[in-house]
Amino acid sequence: MDPTLQNLPNVWRAESLSAAPAHPIPSGHAQLDAALGGGWPSSALVELLTDQEGIGELQLLLPILRYFRDERRTGLVLWLNPPYIPHALALLQHGIDPACHWVGTDLSPRDAGWAMELGLKSTACDAVIGWLPQVTPTGLRRIKLASASAQTFAVIFRPLAAARSPSPATVRATLTAEASRLRIDLLKVQGRRQCTVTIDVDTRIDAVLP
C-alpha cells in the first residue's frame, strides 16, 4: 500500500477490523477469571492436560458453551475423538441445545487434527473441542492459527506428560482431582503469571441433586 495512504490519521483499514480486541469469555469462577485476566481469551487455543476423565473437565467448559448460547452465536460445537459420548440430556439440563453439537469419534489422529483445523477455519463453528494426544508441535501451531484467523475457540485435551514439551497455546493448564475439587494449574497464560486455582466440582453437583 502507498505509504502516504498508510499514514493518514483518519483512514481505518478494513483488515484491522478482524484483529479487533476480543472480549474474554467468563469462566464462571471468580478465582479463575482473575487468574486468566477476565476470562478465557476468545478465539484462542486452550490446552488442557489431564490423565483422568470425569474430574470436572466438562464443568469447566460449560460456561463457555453457555456464553456462545447467550451471545446468540448459534454456530456448531464440534467434538473430536471424545473419550466418551457427550450426554445430550445432560447438556439440555445445563441449558445447552444438543442439536448444534457434532461429534466425530474413532477418527485417526491425522484425521482428527485435520478435522479440528477445518472446523476452526469454518465460519459454521463456534468452538472445536478435540482430544488429540498425539498432536505434533506443527499441528498445534496450525490449530492456533486457524482459531485466531476465524475467531473460533479451540480446546485441546492432552495427557499430563505433554506438559514437558513446549506449546504455542494461549492458555495451558493441567487438570487434576484433589479431594472432590478440581485443581487447575495454569502453566501458561499469555501475558500473565503462572498460578494455581482450585474449583469445587462436587458441591456444584450437590446443589442440583435433590
Residues at the interface with another protein (CB under 8 A): 14, 17-18, 20, 52-59, 62, 71, 73-76, 78, 82-94, 97-105, 107, 111, 114-115, 118-119, 122-126, 150-151, 177-180, 201-202, 205, 208-210
Which CB, 12 or 165, lies closer to another protein? 12
Residue 4, H or E segment: helix 3-6
Which CB, 64 or 100, lies closer to another protein? 100
Report how far apart the first and last C-alpha atoms of the chain are (Å, whole number).
65
- 176 contact partners, CB below 8 Å, separation of at least 6: 50, 52, 55, 160, 182, 183, 185
Which CB, 17 or 165, lies closer to another protein? 17
In the complex, least distance from residue 59 CB atom to another protein, rounded to whole angstroms:
7
In the complex, least distance from residue 142 CB atom to another protein, rounded to whole angstroms:
16
Q: Residue 141: what residue type?
A: R
In the complex, least distance from residue 152 CB atom to another protein, rounded to whole angstroms:
9
Which CB, 33 or 126, lies closer to another protein? 126
Q: How far apart are CA 40 and CA 35, in angstroms?
A: 10
Q: How far apart are CA 80 and CA 160, in angstroms?
A: 19
Q: How far apart are CA 113 and CA 65, in angstroms?
A: 21
